[in-house]
Amino acid sequence: MTTHTDHAEIGALVDRYFRALDAREFAAGWARDFFTDEARMEMPVGVDQGAEAVRATERALRRFDRTQHLASGVITDTAEGAGRATASWNALMTHVHREATLRERGERADPLFLVGGRFEAELHRTPDGWRFTRLTVRPIWTKGQPPPGVSEG
């Protein structure tokens, strides 16, 4: 059973994480506000754990000029007294290609790569609040081309 406080704190974590991604707030140690040290990230471009998951996230976002991630419908479930939770939410992820990518693809190139999908997470309550221990991105649909070097499959 999830308390209103847990649900609000996890929802705020999701919102802050998406805002940090789009603001590109990647100062040293930025991920400690969102992830445990052993966190696992499962994205369409690969699976990584710990510090490498953080670097993979940064690399994925730097392939684009800018991004906007929107979350809705956060559903949470906590294990009472265990300090563990799961969460899932819908996401619309808008990625704006770099000018170099558009030039390479020609004048008819779509400047946007859109992804609609769902995020699934496992979380752990730390002394500093809820943190992701696993975060999985599950695309449902895409529109446009992914960045160079990423498979469309």
Is the CB of residue 44 less than 8 Å from the CB of residue 56? no
Q: Report the predicted TM-score, pTM, of the whole model to 2 decimal places.
A: 0.92
DSSP character at residue 111: S
Q: Sort 91 into a burial class: Cβ within 10 Å, 0-12 / 13-18 / 19+.
A: buried
Rounded to the nearest integer, the mean pLDDT of the chain is 92
Q: What residue ranges do the domains of the chain occupy? A: 4-143
Please, what CATH class does the domain formed by 4-143 belong to? alpha beta
Q: Report pLDDT for 63.
A: 92
Q: How far apart are CA 52 and CA 47, in angstroms?
A: 9
Q: Report pLDDT for 14.
A: 98
Q: How far apart are CA 47 and CA 42, in angstroms?
A: 4
- Summarised one tens digit per residue, pLDDT across range 93-128 is 999 999 999 999 998 999 999 999 999 999 999 999
Is the CB of residue 51 less than 8 Å from the CB of residue 68? no
